């Protein structure tokens, strides 16, 4: 969603008035104000579907970020559920990407749009809560590696049926992060 500067100001002012008057309804003035201030207006259609329409370019980043967070949430929980031998196998077979299996974040210099979307998803919309407060600066590019990982992860996600990833699946996804020239 693209807002003009005057529209942003109006939304902030209306959010302040709404909050000051302590109006109780289905609109969260803090969420709206934070979305406008942080440039995450794409989050408004997620929260208030049918009221707003999202920008197509932003929507692609939002969906990809959601898939990345889903992947890392499942990688971390799957790894945590493994027994000692399973963890040792992943640590050995997926080195250096394991031990621990932990979301490394996004590059703060070049991937700030992904980082911003991820922070908004976890903090404001309570999605992927296991990663809440852990959207950090990786200090290196991550998106290309995450895309290689997603190419392996997405086909297996639909077959999980709410279960955990196996040691072999975790290893396959983590190893996909490796650059093809390595």
What are the chain's domains? 5-47 (no CATH), 56-175 (1.10.3190.10)
Whole-prediction pTM value? 0.77
Long-range interactions of 161-168: CB distance < 8 A, separation 24+: 164/74, 164/77, 164/78, 164/81, 165/74, 165/75, 165/78, 165/79, 166/78, 167/82, 167/86, 167/87, 167/89, 167/90
Q: How far is C-alpha 119 from the geometric centre of its chain's CA atoms? A: 7
**Residues contacting 154, CB < 8 A, separation 6+:** 67
Q: What is the pLDDT along the chain (182 residues), one digit of tens a residue?
A: 788 899 999 999 999 999 999 888 878 999 999 999 999 988 887 787 657 655 555 888 999 999 999 999 999 999 999 999 999 999 999 999 988 899 999 998 889 889 999 999 999 999 999 999 999 999 999 999 999 999 999 999 988 887 899 999 999 999 999 998 87
Q: Is the peptide bond before 37 cis (omega within 30 degrees of 0)?
A: no
Q: What is the pLDDT of residue 129?
A: 92
Q: What is the pLDDT of residue 47?
A: 84
Angle at 133 between CA 43 and CA 31, to 5 degrees: 30
95 touches 19 (CB < 8 A): no
């Amino acid at each position: 969603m693209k807002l003009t500067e005057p529209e942003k100001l109006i939304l902030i002012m209306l959010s302040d008035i709404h909050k000051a008057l302590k109006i109780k309804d289905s609109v969260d003035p803090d969420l709206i104000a934070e979305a406008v201030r942080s440039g995450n207006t794409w989050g408004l259609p997620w929260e208030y579907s049918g009221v707003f329409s999202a920008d197509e370019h932003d929507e692609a980043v939002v969906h990809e970020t959601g898939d990345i967070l889903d992947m890392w949430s499942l990688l971390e929980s799957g790894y945590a559920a493994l027994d000692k031998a399973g963890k040792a196998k992943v640590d050995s077979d997926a080195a250096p990407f394991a031990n621990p299996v932990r979301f490394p974040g996004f590059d703060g210099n070049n991937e700030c749009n992904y980082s911003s979307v991820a922070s908004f998803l976890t903090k404001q919309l309570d999605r992927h809560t296991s990663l809440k407060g852990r959207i950090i600066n990786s200090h290196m590019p991550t998106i290309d590696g995450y895309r290689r990982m997603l190419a392996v992860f997405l086909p297996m996600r639909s077959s999980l049926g709410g279960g955990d990833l196996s040691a072999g699946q975790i290893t396959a996804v983590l190893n996909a992060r490796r650059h093809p020239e390595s």
